[in-house]
Amino acid sequence: DKQYWLQLSPQQIQRAIKLGNEPYQTMYGEVIGHLNPPGIDGFSADFDANFVVEQVNFLTTENPNRCSQPQKPTRVFGNEPSWAASFEANALKFQQMGKTTEMLSIQSSQLQPRQRTYRLDDGELRMTENLCSDTMSDSLYGWKATLKHDGNTYQGCGMAANVDATLSWANTYVATSTQSQGFEVQMTLNPDHSATTRYSYSNGQDPLVERGFWQQLSPSQVQVVMTHHQQQRLMSERLFTREGNQLKATKEKVGSMVYPIADGGLVLYPATIRDAGV
């Protein structure tokens, strides 16, 4: 399992500490953020990247062994009275204890970075990004929820879907154009956002391996940062743009210097396409 150094804000740290009943208590968490290179020294220096937490989606000390759980949709819930709702297609599945489940049709939605509003037939659901505590459990959620339905107002917390929408980048890519120069480049982007670049040589020289991380910058661009080279510290960054089946980078940043990549850039293809001769 891949490990990154988790960088939380002071407020997030304080709220997380309050969940625990003992020092160094194990927790399960779902967080949203971005990756940064590790520090030169300190605790983070032993990791390939820092995970900078922008939002806590879910944090709990109850049953922390949840890393293999299936994907779940966005859902909201509350107590006094007990209620819950989750998204199914274009509807909201609304449940109250002791009552029949209702399917509430979603007429329209307005999605902003910090707030989501869903218009219903007879009301609305509003989710606002804010740390929210469930009074019935030792858990912390990333959204406050207000549901207006059938003349009643329900208050509670919410969780966004536990889905990484950027995993389409995860694959192994190769550059065949470099074979005439005596070496081959293979770049692997893993689902856990770790990355490796392997340089193999036709003269029998041992391959060189770099490792680091990747993250999507836009639907057509991915950042790949190498932070270690043969177990030594490294800082190398390439921005790849997706053009059809290929990824292309024209520049490389090493340390603070930016260099053009020779021969018009580095072009990589998914290994499965290369093997199929496409």
Query: What integer pLDDT is reported at residue 152 of this predicted model?
Result: 94
Q: What is the mean pLDDT of residues 12-23?
A: 88
Query: What integer pLDDT is reported at residue 230 of this predicted model?
Result: 79
Better pLDDT: 161 or 23:
161
Residue among 247, 192, 232 at smallest CA distance from 35: 192
Q: What is the mean pLDDT of residues 87-113?
A: 93
Band (63; pLDDT cuts 50, 70, 90): confident
Query: What integer pLDDT is reported at residue 278 of this predicted model?
Result: 43
CA distances from 275 to 174, 218, 241 (A): 10, 28, 22
Mean pLDDT of all residues belonging to the chain:
90
β 5-7/50-60 pair status? parallel
pLDDT digits (tens, 9 = 90+) for 135-167: 677 899 999 999 999 999 999 999 999 999 999
**Which CATH architecture best describes the domain 167-275?**
Beta Barrel (2.40)
Query: What integer pLDDT is reported at residue 226 of this predicted model?
Result: 95
**Domain spans in the chain, listed from the N-terminal domain onward:** 5-60, 75-159, 167-275
Query: What integer pLDDT is reported at residue 183 of this predicted model?
Result: 81
